[in-house]
Amino acid sequence: MPDKPFVRILGTGRAVPEKILTNADLEKMVDTSDQWIIERTGIRTRHIAEPGTGVAQLAAAAARNALDDAGLGPQDIDLIIVGTVSGDYKFPATACLVQKELGAEKAAAFDVSAACSGFLYSLRLGESLIRTGDFRHALIIGGEVLTSQVDWSDRNTCTLFGDGAGAAVIGPSSDERGILAMHLASDGRHAELLINPGCGSANPPRPDNLHLHAIRMEGREVFRHAVAAMSDGLDQVLGKSGVRLEDIDLLIPHQANLRIIQAVGKKVGMPENRVYVNVDRFGNTSAASIPMAIDEARRSGRIAPGHLVAAVTFGAGFTWAAGLIRF
């Protein structure tokens, strides 16, 4: 048992752009096919933000849904953390734009850059800050418009990514429901295997280097590291909590691609019917992946009160994270 009360998820929400990009659409844009994409990724459709739509707009919409679900208003929130690597601007933080959009004037707000691990990293920070007693209710958001960083001539990456945001309101728990254990990790030695090398201080935008301002990925190496890291993350939170694998009602892996999801499930020994999958409809939404899946699973009945849910993720950095939550 923890020395302080648990912090629990009080409400969840998600938001995606209206526009849907199908594999058939991609066939007209790049040298690929529906069969090739499905066989390698399991993705059939993904939601794409229109030009000019930033992460803050999607994050605020997801946050409103989460607040409604929690029965709280913007004035009840005193902390906003947004996990993203595709914020509206280099600065200010997207979290500050969400604060403005919601009218949550009482909240402190900042972003976390941990790529696909951004939501679980942010959740761990939010939980820790609430447990200090300095904050009571926090909005934890994962949001991305990664299609703004895609090279649409590179079929190995442009077929993967979709846009969206997911949010959770967290606060003190009055019982033993809540965040039971979390694990965060990183290994910067592999940073260049999944990277957008442009837009930062190392490669600021210039007419002669615009080709650098897009996602680059060594897919095979990322696959290998992702499966090992997410499996280890699950082992870590099980060890910290004393929970057995067979007690987990649902495993929510980062929705990177179906092959990775299946490989993680097989490696840890989780039956397929207890592994959540929605990558076929949303693609890889990076930091939005886990909170979007949690919200969808809750609203569809896959997560019910009392259920024990494990979430595992892996992203650029490399970063990875895992969480064990009693709903």
Active site residues: 116, 254, 284
Helix 289-300 vs helix 55-70: angle between axes, to the nearest 10 degrees? 40
Report whether 140 contacts 204 (CB < 8 A): no
DSSP string, 230-296: HHHHHHHHHHHHT--GGG-SEEEE--S-HHHHHHHHHHHT--GGGB---HHHH-B-GGGHHHHHHHH
Q: 181 has which bridge partners?
A: 324
How far lies 235's CA from each of 44, 94, 240, 269, 324, in Å?
31, 33, 9, 11, 11
Q: 321 has which bridge partners?
A: 184, 313
